[in-house]
């Protein structure tokens, strides 16, 4: 096996498509968003990318195995632009892998005629979120304006640590290929998988690309996560606090 | 020395052999099983694989040294199919090593005419085992059926984290070579070396391949391990428990 | 993208220039010093170096992104020698990256006609500094003498652990290219960003190269850092000390 | 700079020399032994090896810098066999570095006509040593016999974990070059630099190669280390023990 390998699975003719990336990351926001797109819209698996920089691992489903990979699905929604959706269970395990995989992903995207890239992800706030803003970053000033016009927030010095991993490099490496690229980052506490943040990101993407989807499945998942969060909070409050200890000694 | 090196030691003509892999892993189940095969059946050391991705280490036996390697033994049992048994003391130390070594192992296997691969290993349950089930995974649906027919268990979402290391990659990389591959994973607590789990795995393999072996040595080893487990338990019960502490304060 | 990439951005004719390096390190002394030079003197961005050994990361400024890189600025001060100033936000993330990046930096320097190299950095003392000495190291004995004549300190067995990272390698790899190289290391506690140490280093460099700059901005930053240090000290003194605990029991 | 680089510094004609390796390791036994040889016998620095797998570091001596390297000295003692002594401050920082450096070291050794290799090191016992035995390992049975005849100990299953790092690989990789190689491992607690263990190793080597040296400097260093050990023990006994705490409560 080579360091990076592209497996073409189907043709999937696409008209002026955009690449939509949602790999694992903060709050799994990008991955949830990309997977929700694939659940709600018809899609065809068109390519897989394998790499020695992925974990040495197979997943098992119905008894048969699949080598660690990233997957590209072609999506042709009734309304809006065609999409090439990139998702998967893994990020690269080292720096050279991140650079090399991102280059390979852009190679695949260009084979399908992609000229615009949207990287989806989360940005950790460290606290519970009431209103889910979506932060933006892009490779060109004109794209910044376009994103602002659909409600994407741009704030000075945010995200503070820049953007890391494939989402960051998709922007960093798109410039040298004359591709436009933007990153849409849903705010999220950073502590739990966050379907609400994923929905906020998708609602922006919907504005930009024009597709129509339902969010019920994401909302159900959000309710489940709130239940999980409630239980964690209860468990934490159930542990003895300093004042309880004092009582024991006083008693 | 190259990144990966194959040393051919003997010819070892084999008729329609299967590759049986048992390298170190959870509960050392695969390694124990493969080594027991080599102890119970006549075998010839036919090849060694060296790699810069193995630890920089020699083992010492009777004063002389042997560079870290994986070993292939040819086994021609009286009953049942011929086997090429892969065992050793090391896994690769990094991702690229895992991928490259597995490819090298399959190169050796193909040189000996192998068309089927059995990777042996353990799957951790986190609790003590009463009945030792053997979980399966394979590259094709037809092989799943064959394994089920000899008692291998297939359960939804198990093993939960997929299969990692050489055992996983043997399945992941066999597909692209038109090799059939299966993984037999003995349930094991995951805390101790587990000869009983190794025996459970071998009994399945015996059904599949038709060899005849004795399990007394493995059973003796299992008795030793139970003695070890009992001592650990005693030591743990000997430490002061919360109730003992309370007594001190009350006293 | 290649392992190391040089992007030439402007010509920037320089006469007999010296390379001045200030990348992140102990107390950020080198980085502060190099950035202060660029703030106080007119400069032109002439080249960037990208590398797969930098973090897989983009920074965001005014909504647009810039891939992790090191930057070279051409500086032609009214007084003193021309400078090629190397600065950035990252060091390499692994050993091979350190060696390869330093070689690439020296390639760029030679393209601009550099024959002398000054690496700026800090040396940790582990205690608060009253008087900021600047320690030196260089590739030739004659350069040691020159540095001593402008007040650089040379002490036996200092710096104790040698010089690590790009600063060290600029000296280690300059020799084999017939470049003279020196390292100027400002003493610093090692606990905080240290603008005073950066100023001490720049004052030496000023003596050596003849430029004229103002230090007010660095002095303001030093005042800010002292305020930070004071607050940390107060917080530490505010926590209960052993004697306080005793009082609780006595009370 | 290449991944591995050999710098030839002087010719150093040697007659039927042996390679003697003493790089950093357990108790610094090998390094102390090799350096003592170089202090007691006339030697000429003949070659250095640089590598991207060494730390990115220069050492500073008298103000001038030296890039991280391993050094070869030619030694022609009045009595006994000529030696090529390999020493330095670093081991490789990763597995591929260990393999590649060892191969490079053997390339240098063969250029000087070496046909026998002695790797010097320590073997940790975890307890204080009264009598300093030297354990052995070698590439051939005949060499085992020769070592036994001069007092080297060979014990079953020792060293338990095999031999790691350059010392181990010198044996592992010598075989494939038709070089004889042996490892001499002085027993040492493993907690401190151990000049006594280094002396035990040198006394064996002296028997094998026939040189004459004085051990006073090593004995002085051993006295210093005993002083250090005594102080550490005092400090440990000075800390409050459980019984002291009890007294406070009782009092």
pLDDT above 90 as % of chain D = 81
The predicted model gives B132-148 an average pLDDT of: 96
**Of B102, B136, B161, Cβ closest to residue A63:** B136
Task: Give counts: helices (H), strands (E), chain A.
Answer: 7, 11
At D228 the pLDDT is 87
At B217 the pLDDT is 95
In a domain, A235, yes or no: no
At D242 the pLDDT is 42
Averaged confidence pLDDT in chain D: 92
Contact call for residues A201 and A184 (beta carbons, < 8 A): yes
Which pLDDT band holds residue D248 (cuts at 50, 70, 90)? very low
At A233 the pLDDT is 82
Whole-angstrom distance, CA of residue A42 vs CA of residue B67: 55
**C–D CB contacts, 8 A cutoff, strictly below:** 79
Q: Which residues of D touch C98 (CB under 8 A)?
A: 56
For tokens 């440990």, what's the residue? D236
In a domain, C245, yes or no: no
Residue closest to B21 by CA, chosen among B173, B187, B247:
B173
State the angle between helix axes of B165-174 and B95-111 in degrees (0 to 180), rounded to the nearest 10: 60
Which pLDDT tens digit goes with each residue over D202-234?
999 999 999 999 999 999 999 999 898 888 888
Whole-angstrom distance, CA of residue D235 vs CA of residue D248: 21
In a domain, A117, yes or no: yes
The dihedral of CA B5, B11, B16, B17: what is its sign?
A: negative
Whole-angstrom distance, CA of residue D47 vs CA of residue D70: 8
Which pLDDT band holds residue B242 (cuts at 50, 70, 90)? very low
Which pLDDT tens digit goes with each residue over C122-164?
999 988 888 999 999 999 999 999 999 999 999 988 898 899 9
Q: How many domains does chain D have?
A: 1
**pLDDT(D249) > 70:** no
At D239 the pLDDT is 54
At C247 the pLDDT is 36
Contact call for residues B89 and B60 (beta carbons, < 8 A): no
| Cβ count within 10 A of residue D155 | 12
Cβ of A57 within 8 Å of Cβ of B163? The answer is yes
**Of D95, D171, D173, Cβ closest to residue B93:** D95
Exposure string for C17-51, b = 16+ CB within 10 A, e = fewer: bbbbbbbbbbbbbbbbbbbbbbebbebeebbbbbb
The whole-angstrom distance between B173's CA and the closest CA on chain A is 8
**pLDDT(C240) > 80:** no
The whole-angstrom distance between A73's CA and the closest CA on chain C is 25
- CATH number of the structural domain spanning residue A12: 3.40.50.10900
Whole-angstrom distance, CA of residue D53 vs CA of residue D95: 9
The dihedral of CA B198, B204, B206, B209: what is its sign?
A: negative
Please give the backbone phi and psi of residue C191, each rounded to the nearest 5 degrees, phi first. Answer: -95, -30
In a domain, A155, yes or no: yes
At B190 the pLDDT is 87
Which residues of chain A have a pLDDT value below 70? 238-251
Q: Which residues of D touch C100 (CB under 8 A)?
A: 52
At B239 the pLDDT is 54
* Of C216 and B236, the one with more pLDDT: C216
Q: Which residues of D touch C172 (CB under 8 A)?
A: 57-58, 65-68
Farthest-apart Cα atoms in chain B, separation: 77
Which three-class secondary structure state does DSSP give residue A140? coil
ipTM: 0.89
The predicted model gives D26-40 an average pLDDT of: 97
Whole-angstrom distance, CA of residue A71 vs CA of residue A89: 9
In a domain, C136, yes or no: yes
Which pLDDT tens digit goes with each residue over B200-230?
999 999 999 999 999 999 999 999 998 988 8
* Of C119 and D11, the one with more pLDDT: C119
* Three-state helix/strand/coil letters over chain D: CCCEEEEECCCCCCCCCEEEEECCCHHHHHHHHHHHHHHHCCEEEEEEEEECCCCCEEEEECCEEEECCEEEEEECCCCCCCEEEEEECCCCCCHHHHHHHHHHHHHHHHHCCCCEEEEEEEEECCCCCCCCCEEEEECCHHHHHHHHHCCCECCCCCCCCCEEHHHHHHHHHHHHHCCEEEEEEEEECCCCCCHHHHHHHHHHHHHHHCCCCCCHHHHHHHHHHHHHHHHHHHHHHHCCCHHHHHHHHHC
Which pLDDT tens digit goes with each residue over D52-96?
999 999 999 999 999 999 999 999 999 999 999 999 999 999 999
Averaged confidence pLDDT in chain B: 92
**pLDDT(D244) > 90:** no
Residue B143 sits in which domain range?
4-215
The predicted model gives B8-23 an average pLDDT of: 95
Cβ of D164 within 8 Å of Cβ of B56? The answer is yes
The whole-angstrom distance between B54's CA and the closest CA on chain D is 7
In a domain, C116, yes or no: yes
Which pLDDT tens digit goes with each residue over C74-91?
999 999 999 999 999 999
The whole-angstrom distance between D192's CA and the closest CA on chain C is 19
The predicted model gives B63-92 an average pLDDT of: 97
Tokens of residue B197, six digits: 């789990």
């Amino acid at each position: 096996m080579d360091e990076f390998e592209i497996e073409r699975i189907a043709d999937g003719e696409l008209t002026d498509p955009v690449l939509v990336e949602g790999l694992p990351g903060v709050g799994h926001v990008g991955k949830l968003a990309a997977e929700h797109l694939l659940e709600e819209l018809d899609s065809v698996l068109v390519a897989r990318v394998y790499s020695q920089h992925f974990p040495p691992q197979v997943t098992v489903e119905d008894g048969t195995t699949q080598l660690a990979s990233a997957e590209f699905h072609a999506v042709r929604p009734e309304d809006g632009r065609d999409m090439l959706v990139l998702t998967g269970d893994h990020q690269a395990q080292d720096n050279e892998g991140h650079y090399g995989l991102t280059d390979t992903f852009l190679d695949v995207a260009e084979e399908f005629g992609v000229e615009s890239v949207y990287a989806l992800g989360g940005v950790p706030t460290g606290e519970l979120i009431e209103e889910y803003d979506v932060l933006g970053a892009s490779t060109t000033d004109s794209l910044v304006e376009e994103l602002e016009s659909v409600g994407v927030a741009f704030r000075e010095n945010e995200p503070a640590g820049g953007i890391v991993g494939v989402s960051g490099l998709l922007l960093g490496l798109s410039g040298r290929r004359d591709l436009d690229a933007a990153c849409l980052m849903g705010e999220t506490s950073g502590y739990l998988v966050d379907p609400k943040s994923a929905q906020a990101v998708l609602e922006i993407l919907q504005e930009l690309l024009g597709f129509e989807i339902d969010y019920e499945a994401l909302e159900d998942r959000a309710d489940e996560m709130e239940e999980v969060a409630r239980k964690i909070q209860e468990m934490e409050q159930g542990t003895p606090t300093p004042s309880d200890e004092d009582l024991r000694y006083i008693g």
